[in-house]
Amino acid sequence: MHTGMLWFDNSQTALTVKIQKAVDYYHKKYGRSPDLCLVHPSMLDTQERNQRQLEINKMTVRPYRPVLPGHIWIGIEDKN
């Protein structure tokens, strides 16, 4: 993903709730649903950190260290 939407949510809610809020806003703004979400590894549970990617609500979620904690980068995955 080269372009996407950066979402900040530093609340104490669950990661799935944060992602769903970002997805809802993305869909409202751009008229399509994202399929990729990049988050800082510290935002994932200990078990999830060991996986290269996971699925939440039909969306691929990957840990990506350059994304700052509290931020969610969502968009459409490049098919190349």
Q: For the chain (length 80 residues), average pLDDT per consecutive 10? A: 92 92 95 94 77 81 94 90
State which amino acid sits at residue 66.
P
pLDDT at 55: 84
Q: Is the pTM of this model over 0.75?
A: yes
Sheet of 5-8, strand order: 5-8, 71-75, 36-39, 59-63, 54-56
H or E, element range at 15: helix 15-30
Q: Are 37 and 59 in contact (CB under 8 A)?
A: yes
pLDDT at 20: 93
**CA–centroid distance for 35 within its chain:** 9
